[in-house]
Every structure is written in C-alpha cells, then in structure tokens.
Amino acid sequence: MSDALPARVGSRLRGLVGRAPGLAGPLTLRNRLILSIVALVVLLTIVIGSVSVIVLQASLMRQLDDELEGATGRSVPMVNAQGSTTRPYLTPDGDDLSGPRQSPGTFTAVVVNGSVVAAYRVEQSGRVVSPRLTDDLTSVVTTVAGANDPETVSLGSDLGSYRVESLAVGYQTTTTSGSVATTPAHLVVGLPTSSVDRTITVMVITILAVTLIGLAIAIAVAYGVVRSALRPLERMSDTALRVAELPLDRGEVALAERVDEADADTRTEVGRVGASLNRMLGHVAGALEARQQSENKVRQFVADASHELRTPLASVRGYAELTRRMNTGLPDDVVYAMGRIESESLRMTSLVEDLLLLARLDEGRDLVTGDVDLTRVVLDTVNDAHVAGPTHDVDVYVPDEPVTVSGDAMRLHQIVANLLTNVRTHTPDGTHVHVSLTVDDASGQAVVSVADDGPGIDPAVLPVLFERFARADSSRSRKAGSTGLGLAIVQAVVHSHGGTVDVASSDDGATFTVRLPLATPDVASDRDAEEARLA
C-alpha cells in the first residue's frame, strides 16, 4: 500500500503533462492550454477582422453614395431657366445625361413608362458610349426605377456591380408639329462598386495574412510560456516516478526523493502541488520508517527467540530419546509418547533453525561467499533427492562445462534442496520432476529450473507463495514436516546472492526458475591460477 500512492500521483501528473498525446487519446493540459490560446487568438482575429471589414465597407458605401448623389446632380440640368418648376427636365440628345464632369464608369439611363429610352456609360478614356441593352440590363434598370434609396445591383456581365439611385424627372420631346411634350420619367444613375470591392478584398487578404502570422507567433509564444509554466509539473512527475520505482514493499527504504524547493513555492498554484507532494512523501517516509522499525523489532525478537529455543529444544529431544531408549519396564503408551515428543521436538528444532536462518539473511549475515561450481551443487542435490524421495522420478540436465557462480555453497545447495523438498511434499507419488541448469549468455546468469507434472498451484496462492508460512493446501496435499518456510528461505537466499526466483503454474504442473549471476571472468581466472599454483 505504501508504494501505491506515489505511483498514483505519478500517473496523474503524467496525464497532466504528457509529452506526446495520441490522436485518439485525451489531450494533455499543455495542449489544451495551447489550443485554448490559439482558439482565442483566432476568435479575436475573426471578430476584429469582421467588424473592421463591415465598418470599412459601410464607410466606403457612404462615400460612394455621396459620389453617386453628385453624379446624379450633374446628370440633371435645370433646363427651365425661368424656374417655373422644380422638376428637372431631360432631352433625348444625352448631353445633359453625361456631361464632361462625370467620372469614368458612370452609368445613366432614362426609364419612360417602364422602358429604357436612353442609356449611356462613361469609359475610362472619358468617351461616352451607349451600352448594349440586354434583357438582364433592361430588367434591372426598370426594377430600380422609382426606388427611394440607393441600391447595389448587378448590371450584367458586361458592366458588373453598380451602386444606383433613381430620380423622378420630366422627359421632353419635340412632336412633329414642333411643340415640346413633357413625359414623366425616371433617371437611373449608377457608379461601379469595383473600387469598393477591391479595397475590401485587399483588406480581407491583409487580415488573413496578419492572422496567419499572428497565429504562428501565438503558437510559438503559447508553447514557450505553457512549457515553462508546466516544467515544474514535469519535474514533479519525474520525482513521483522515481518514488514509484522504489521497492517500497520490502526491506529498508530510504525515501529521500523530494520536489525542489523552487517548485514548492506555496504562493503559486503549481508550487502548492509541489508542496503537497513533499508533505505526502514525508508522510510516506515516516510510515516506512515506522514499518521498518517494527519489522526490525520482530526480526530481532524472532532471532533472539529462535536462538534461546535451540538449547531447551535440544534438551527436550535428548531426554525424550534417552527415555525412549531406556524403555525397560515402561508401558507401551509411554514409549510411544516419548517417540512423539522426540519427533515433534525435531520438527520444532527445524522450524527454529529456519526462522533463525531467515533472521540472519534479513540482516545480511550467514553467507560465506566464494566461487561455487553450481553444476556440482545441482548434481549432488539431485542425488540426495533420489535417496530422500524414491517415490518421485527425478531427472537432471547440466551443461558439459562447469557453471561457476559467486556465493555460499551451502546456501546454494539449500536452494535446490528446498525446491525439490517442496515438490516431494506437495505432489503425489509418481510425479516426474525435471531439474535443469543452463546459462543465459545475454544476461550473464545461471538458470536453475525445477519443473514437475503435478497438480499445479492454486492461482490464489501464487502471489503469496514465497511469503513465510504460506500454504498451498487447496491444490497440493500437505504432508507432515512442512513448515511453510522452505520457499521463503529460497527467495531470501536467492535475493542475498543478487538473483531472482519465479514460479509458473498450470494444470500440467509447476516450474520454479532461479536466476543467479555468473562469477566474473576476472574472479574465475584468479581462482584457476591459484589452484594451478598450488598444484
């Protein structure tokens, strides 16, 4: 439980500051912040750009309307010099429709009784021409005739978009009798919107270019700022990861990992996270220290109790054996009871010796290291197993060349012996056992494997199989003499030699695999040279 909290904190911090988010996975905090900033910049640019374009277009249209009003005034001379009427009058010769002061592109037309009777357009050169009166042009002009306000219309593909307004006038014509006839008409005057369109287009392109440049700058700045702001979280994540990788479940743990003081400034939000993580690590370190002190007391008690129990147990066993041998005149039930006392004292002595051995191994004592021929150890142990358990079929494989490891020969023998004893104790008679010794050159380890074809181990027991007093009674039969410490001793001895022990189980049997580091070539060569010198 002590290592779960740092691991959980590390996983949460990694989720906040992940370095490379997957396309289908959740976005990290860094990427969410960058995307939020970029989205805000884009939104502000769109709003500001849109408002700017709308305001500019409205301003240009007002300016164009003012120019249109001036063009209309220039197109309508007051031919009635006496001022008898305020209605302007037009003549069909067109001189008063397109005077020399009109700007290029000015369009004028006269609509009488729904028909266009005259139309003119000033070209860029200043020359006045009559445009081709297509059906589309005629329809648009007659439609806007009589409109009260300026409108933007399309005068066909030849002329394009125009801003037009209409004015009621009198159209004067000379009859065949020589009299002047005045007919109500509408004067339609228009100016091209191409200048406005060009200005708006340039404005939009400019806004888009500025937006792209600003977006690139915003991304770069946001990335730098967010990365700098979240770097303390990354360092906290690394700290939590280092803590999570510590073996907090066993042994004495020195939990010295802490977040840097610079990252634990409580005046900032990130600093408060760092300070909280430091407080949590301090609390965990205190709990681990208390656990270690408690375990040390238990180990010391077990070691002292085991040591003190050896002498009285030896006395009990000795007196029981002496009484059993001096059975002259003793009832049979007393002789039987003495035999049971002797056998149980032997079993109790074995248990005490195992507990004392584990206590010494926990303290790092009781090892006499040197170069050991593991091949000879395996062969001797298998031969002993043939004698101790003839009901089990045990075969062995070892390489032709000796396999040398550095360790305690007696304890290495105990590893293999305990594994074979475990098989004999928990598997039925007739079980086949295969013991092998190989060398893993890639890892530089010797591999000892003990496999059987028995009933296997209950999966529920596997996680605690190497713990002290662990039982596997649900899947394997328990026989007398099993203390539940054999595999715990195996693990303790293997770990004290810098190795590992694993187990794999199925319905077809169980396999124990022990890996021990090989002796270094320098040590082995020195040993061979010394043996050659002595020879």
Of residues 305, 496, 299, the one with CA closest to residue 410: 496
Residue 244 pLDDT:
78
Confidence of residue 188 (pLDDT cuts 50, 70, 90): confident
pTM over 0.85: no
**Residue spans of beta strands (DSSP E) within 286-391:** 370-373
d(CA 29, CA 78): 75
Residue 68 pLDDT:
85
Confidence of residue 321 (pLDDT cuts 50, 70, 90): confident
Residue 304 pLDDT:
67
Question: Do the first three CATH levels of 75-195 and 272-362 match, i.e. the same topology?
Answer: no
Confidence of residue 13 (pLDDT cuts 50, 70, 90): very low
Q: What burial letters (b/e) apply to 40-56, b meaning 16+ CB within 10 Å?
A: ebeeebeeebeeeeeee
- Reading the block at residue 163, the tokens are 């801003």
Q: Which phi and psi (to 5°) does residue 339 adopt? A: -65, -40
Q: What is the pLDDT of residues 446-484, one digit of tens each?
A: 999 999 988 888 888 888 888 777 665 544 444 545 567
Average pLDDT along the chain: 77
Q: What is the pLDDT of residues 92-133, one digit of tens each?
A: 444 545 455 678 888 888 888 888 888 888 888 778 787 888
Q: Which phi and psi (to 5°) does residue 441 adopt? A: -65, -35
Measure CA of the first residue to CA of the last residue in the chain; give whole Å. Answer: 57
d(CA 483, CA 489): 11
CB 510 within 8 A of CB 458: no
User: Residue 11, CB half-sphere, CA atoms under 13 Å: how many?
Assistant: 6
Domain parsing of the chain, residue ranges:
4-55+201-248, 75-195, 272-362, 370-534
Q: Which fold has domain 272-362?
A: Helix Hairpins (1.10.287)
Q: For 148-174, what is the mean pLDDT?
A: 83
Helix, strand or coil, per DSSP, at residue 494: helix
176: left (phi over 0), alpha (psi -120 to 50) or beta: alpha
Count the neighbouring beta carbons within 10 Å of the beta carbon of residue 514.
25
Residue 471 pLDDT:
63
Question: CB neighbours of 533 closer than 8 A, spacing ≥ 6?
Answer: none
Q: Architecture of domain 75-195 in CATH?
A: 2-Layer Sandwich (3.30)
Of residues 31, 36, 7, 16, the one with CA closest to residue 233: 16
Residue 15 pLDDT:
46
Q: What is the pLDDT of residues 290-314, one digit of tens each?
A: 877 776 776 677 666 666 776 777 7
Confidence of residue 66 (pLDDT cuts 50, 70, 90): confident
CB 178 within 8 A of CB 147: no
CB 488 within 8 A of CB 468: yes
d(CA 435, CA 513): 10
Instruction: Name residue, tokens 């529920």.
Output: 460
Helices 409-426 and 486-496: crossing angle in degrees, nearest 10, is 150
Residue 364 pLDDT:
63
CB-count exposure of residue 248 (10 Å: 0-12, 13-18, 19+): buried
Residue 9 pLDDT:
44
Q: What is the pLDDT of residues 31-58, one digit of tens each?
A: 888 888 888 888 988 899 899 999 999 9
Least confident range of 187-196, 466-475, 498-507, 511-520: 466-475
Residue 201 pLDDT:
92
Residue 385 pLDDT:
87
Q: Does domain 370-534 have CATH number 3.30.565.10?
A: yes
CB 451 within 8 A of CB 434: yes
Residue 202 pLDDT:
93
Q: What percent of the chain has pLDDT over 70?
A: 79
Q: For 321-331, what is the mean pLDDT?
A: 73
Of residues 297, 338, 304, 300, the one with CA closest to residue 321: 338
d(CA 471, CA 462): 10
Q: What percent of the chain has pLDDT over 90?
A: 10
Residue 513 pLDDT:
93
